[in-house]
Structure formats: C-alpha cells, structure tokens
Structure 1
Amino acid sequence: MKKIVSLLVTLFFISTSLLHAAIDPSQLPEAKRTISGKYLSAKEAYEMVVKNPQKMLFVDVRTPAETEYVGIADQVNLNIPYMLDDYSTWDAKKSRFQMSPNSAFTMKIADALTARGLKKNDPIILMCRSGDRSAAAANLLTTAGYTKVYSVYDGFEGDKSKEGFRTVNGWKNAGLPWGYKLDQARAYLVF
C-alpha cells in the first residue's frame, strides 16, 4: 500500500511539473522572444525567487515612474530601467514621451550582481510591464555574456484583454505580492 501511495504521489508531482512546464517560445509574440530562450511566467518567477532568494537577482526593468505609480513586486531586488522616459521628446504615434535606452543598464546589472556576491552565470530574472522590454533587456545581457537571464513573459501588469485592459495574466493579476511602497534601496535614481 505504501508503494502505491508513493507512486501516486510521484505521478502527481510529475504531472504537476509538466503542466507547469515552460512556455513554447513559438507561442510568444516576436517582441517577447529572447535569444537565450529562457522564460518564466510571473508565477514561476515568484516560485523561483521565494525558493532561493539569495542566489539570484530579480530586477524590474520598467521606468522609475512605473514602479512608483503602478506598483512593484515585493520580491524585486532593484529597479534598473532598460528604457528611460525622455521628457524632452514627444512620440506622437504612441501618444507619450519618447523612451530611450538606458546607457547604464548593463553596468548597473553588473554592480548589482557584485553587491550580492553573484556572477555572470547566476540567475537574473527581468520583469517589465508585459514582457517586451524584459525580453530586449535579456537579449542585451545575453549578448554581454550573462548565461542565465530569464524574461518574465507576462510581466508585472500582464497582457491586454480584448477590451484593452491589462487583465489577462502577469504578476498583479496572478495575485502575487506587490505594493506601492518603493524604498530607496530598490529605487533607481536618475542623475
């Protein structure tokens, strides 16, 4: 009887793992694909960080304004934006300020790893609003020699529903811990 119970428990965990398997990259929009092919859902990122928080770096790559006014995941170590708002240039097509690459991004990631006693081959999880910027940031880091860079493909706010609201998936919609409190240790200070 114990063997049967043990077998059933093992089969349950195997089937749960298969259901929770990584996404097929071909199912992702092109903007969310990475050259390394390493992806996590918001739930998978949460589980990975909670399981071993000291052995990885979890970075929110959204703009400082997004982390301040939209919220930030409790488990995020730092906000290091991949793109920054350029308040001197208007993007008429997107009806917003132009965004420009953060020239200090790779350097700030290297500094954050060093501060945590981590190296280029330790896991780095990147999350943006919905998975596009985190994928682009992951590509930049992979090209720079980082070997375990994961993009959270559904992001902090998730994808848009047919009605145009970000209610489909993502960190917030999964009910994962987040809030509006941004402390100075995690904030990105633009100089």
Structure 2
Amino acid sequence: MKRLLAGLLIAVTGSLFAAEAPEKESMRTRAGLYVDAIEAYEMLRNPGDRQVVLIDVRDPIELNFTGYTQMVDVHVPWKIMDSSRWNENKQSYGGYVNPDFAAEVTSRLDALGIGKEAHLVFMCRSGSTRSAPAADALYELGYANVYSMVDGFEGGKAKSGEHQGARVVNGWKNSGLPWGWKLERDVMYGLDK
C-alpha cells in the first residue's frame, strides 16, 4: 500500500517528497511545496536527474549558536538581526528583511550554474517565519520548484516533559542528520570570496 501511495504521489507531484501544507497561513508558500528535514536530506542525497539546492536563510549569528549543516549550498539571510532594534513585546533584538535577498540568492545560484528548473529547499530555524517568504521571493522570479522546510534546522518546541519549551522536536538537528559547528567560508553570507 505504501509503495502504491508513493507511486501516486510521484505521478501527481513529480516528487516523492511532499510534507503536508502547514496549518499556519504564514508558513504557506505560493508554490505549495513543502518538505521536512528528512525529506530534504533525501532529496539532497538522491537528487535523481534534477538539481537540488539547500539554501539556509538564517542570520549569520544564528549559525554560530545553533549549528550548521555542510550540506548547505547557499547561505543568504532572509532577515538580518540588528542590535539597535529592540522588540519590546518579545523582549529581544529585532531585525529587518534583507532588501537584497532575492538578488543575492540568484547571484549565488548563477555562480553555481543553477538554473530556474532546480529544486530549491529553503531552511530557517523552525520553519515558521522565514523559509516560506524566502521561497516565495524566488518563486516570483520564475523558480517554480521552491520548497519550504517545514520543521527547519532546530525544529519545534516540546510541549511537555523535561525539555518543555526547548526546540527538541523534529528539524534537521533533532532528526540525526549531519550537522556541526564548523561554518564554510565559501558558502557564508557577506564574505568576500
């Protein structure tokens, strides 16, 4: 039965990878393509006849504190943290949407020889606020195969138990996928190459 369903999914979407659309409207994309971390990893490991690109849209500071996977092809932050912007409601620093995001990503893709037919997977910390609008930005430029990783790098927060409130549920990091603390200079945002 599972093989039959997988075959139907491939026939309908052209892909074996299709996480369900998120319930929250802010997490939905115009392309309507979603993967979880494990599906993204499988796409990268077994691309078949397509190009698959992992784009990390987290702020550079986040990478230092939450970790990184060397499977990332492009790192351009969707939102840039700014210590001069205090968010009183959240009791944390704020930031602003990177005004050059789409241009910087397309420039990186062009440099890598990645065309508009490629499958682009966008990853943020939790999949809740940045990967979807980042995917939409490239979708608007004609990239049709843009996926939002719905559980992000760190995953969701535990609702109960000893780790309640901590990001220990799903996501790249919690799924046993390869990650670490070493960043790759040639992939990182804002560095002269």
Query: Fold match, TM over 0.5?
Result: yes
- What amino acid is aligned across from residue 57 of structure 1 in structure 2? V
1:64 Cα deviation (Å)?
0.3
Q: Please, what is the CA RMSD of the aligned residues?
A: 2.3
Q: Is the 8 A contact 1:35 1:139 kept in 2?
A: yes
Per the alignment, residue 13 of structure 2 pairs with none
- State which of 22, 31, 36 in structure 1 corresponds to 2:31: 36
Tell me what 1:166 maps to: 167
Normalized per residue, the structure richer in helix is 1
TM-score, reference length from structure 1:
0.85
**In 2, Cα distance between the equivalents of 1:60 and 1:77?**
8
TM-score between both structures, scaled by the size of structure 2: 0.84
Identical aligned pairs, as a percentage? 39
Contact kept in structure 2, 1:62 and 1:80, CA below 8 Å = yes
Aligned-partner residue type, residue 174 of structure 1:
S
Corresponding residue number in structure 2 for 1:58? 54
| Distance (whole Å) between structure 2 residues aligned to residue 190 and residue 29 of structure 1 | 35
Greater Rg by CA: 1
User: Structure 2: how far apart are the matches of 1:12 and 1:39?
Assistant: 20
- 1:58-111: CA deviation from partner (whole Å, max 9, x where unpaired): 111000011122111221112110000112111111121111011121011111
Shift of 1:51: 1.2
Counterpart in the other structure of 1:179 = 180
- CA separation of 1:22 and 1:109: change in aligned 2, threshold 3 A: same
Misfit runs of 4+, over 4 Å:
15-21
> Across the two proteins, how many residue pairs are aligned to each other?
180
Gap runs ≥5 in structure 1: 1-10
Contact 1:78 1:185 in 2 (8 A): no
Determine if contact 1:56/1:118 at 8 Å carries over to the other structure: no
Deviates more, 1:93-102 or 1:42-51: 93-102
